[in-house]
Structure 1
Amino acid sequence: MENITPVLTELEQAREDFIRQWGAMGSAWGINRTMAMIHATLMTSTAPMNTDEVMELLQISRGNANANLRELVGWGLLRPTAVKGERKDYYEAEKDVWKMFCAITRERKRREIEPAMAVLDDCAARTDKLKTPEAKEFNKMMNELADFVSVASSVMDRISRSQRSKVVPAALKVFG
């Protein structure tokens, strides 16, 4: 009997490789592998997809697909869309790379930077009046970290609110 396994086209294989790699990178920007793979799937799709299509393509459960689709909508990386003649929910990804970057930056700031800032400020306030050398050193470190995180937060705010046409050339001058 002959092997009837379908052969992927070069485009299909490249897309599959990208989806897998985007999934692997997901944890670096604060999301799970499946969420990143769903994002990559919809980002590279030429048409909106429904939950069933995402489930089938990625071989994931309905609950996993639904939870991650909702989360991606919350991040601003996907948007629900209507498909004429269909009752199912369909989703499409933001395809503008700059808008994706800004959405990820805003969400990471909200989830990571703001809670870290709150802890640093709290630790600095609680140790501000302590007189031991260790407490003074700890307080100094908390204040220095808070200052640094505050600057990083301001940069993230400016980038995520900026227009690409203004920020990219300025960044290239600084880092070029």
Structure 2
Amino acid sequence: MEYLEAKEKFIGTWGSLGSLWGINKAMAQIQALLFISTKPLSMQDIMEDLKISRGNTSMNLRQLMDWGIVTKVLVSGERKEFFTTEKDVQELTRIIAKERSRREIQPVIKVLDDVSSIKDDGTDKTKELIKQTKALHDLSVNADAMLNKLVTQKQNWLTKSIIKLLK
């Protein structure tokens, strides 16, 4: 397989996986392109390489920057904005895990806390609602705590964790 074919296959697959992870295809493809790029890319570079519109590129770059995955960089002598992404896979995983906790897990924990702390009126329906939402709340809190522990570990947390699991 030649470079261009491998590049297109990687970016296409990463884009498809992005959809499974809850982000849109273009957003994942932009991150994949920046991830394998040897230098920062301009919006124009990204648009031309991925054959996507300026609006789509701009919107997705903004979202990637909001996630903390993509950053703007200054290129000496250039007026255009250039973009790059975290290249360390473990650090990238930590950033994504931290952001998913903030955006997804924390709000769910708050809702489950509110729902599970309703007044018990003594009915079976209410008791079951409280019991089940409390169980989900506790599970969510524990999962978030575990995720936060992984996020705050040293840079090689992923590798060390996998090695420990395999032993």
Q: TM-score range by the shorter chain?
A: over 0.9
- TM-score, normalised to structure 1's length? 0.89
Backbone CA RMSD of aligned residues: 1.5
Residues 20-169 of structure 1 correspond to what in structure 2 (within 5 A)?
20-126=12-118, 128-166=119-157, 168-169=159-160
The alpha carbon displacement at 1:130 in A equals: 2.4
CA distance in 2, matches of 1:91, 1:175: 37
Aligned-residue offset at 1:106: 1.0
Are residues 44 and 170 of structure 1, via their aligned partners in 2, closer, same or farther at CA, if it must alter by over 3 Å?
Answer: closer
Aligned-pair CA distance for 1:175: 4.9
**Contact 2:90/2:158 (8 A) holds in 1:** no
Displacement of 1:174 in angstroms is 3.4
Distance 1:148 1:158, change over 3 A: same
- Alignment equivalent of 1:173, drawn from 150, 164, 167: 164
Larger mean Cα displacement after TM superposition, 107-116 or 15-24: 107-116
- Runs of 5+ consecutive residues of structure 2 not aligned to the other structure: none
Deviation string 1:122-170 (CA, Å, 9 cap, x unpaired) is 11122x4221112101110000000000011001111111113355324
Where structure 1 has 5 or more consecutive residues not aligned to the other structure, the ranges are 1-8
In 2, the alpha carbon distance for the partners of 1:50 and 1:167 equals 31
Query: Normalization by structure 2: what TM-score?
Result: 0.93
Q: Distance in 1 between matches of 2:25 and 2:157?
A: 33
Percent identity between the two aligned chains: 38
Structure 2 contact 90–156 (Cα < 8 Å) conserved:
no
Q: Distance in 2 between matches of 1:165 and 1:78?
A: 21
Letter paired with 1:135: T
Cα distance in 2 for residues equivalent to 1:114 and 1:51: 33
The one-letter amino acid of 2:30's match is: I
Q: Distance in 2 between matches of 1:90 and 1:167?
A: 30
Per-residue deviation, 1:52? 0.6
Counterpart CA distance in 2 for 1:27 and 1:109 is 18
**Higher alpha-carbon Rg:** 1
Q: Is the 8 A contact 1:78 1:91 kept in 2?
A: yes
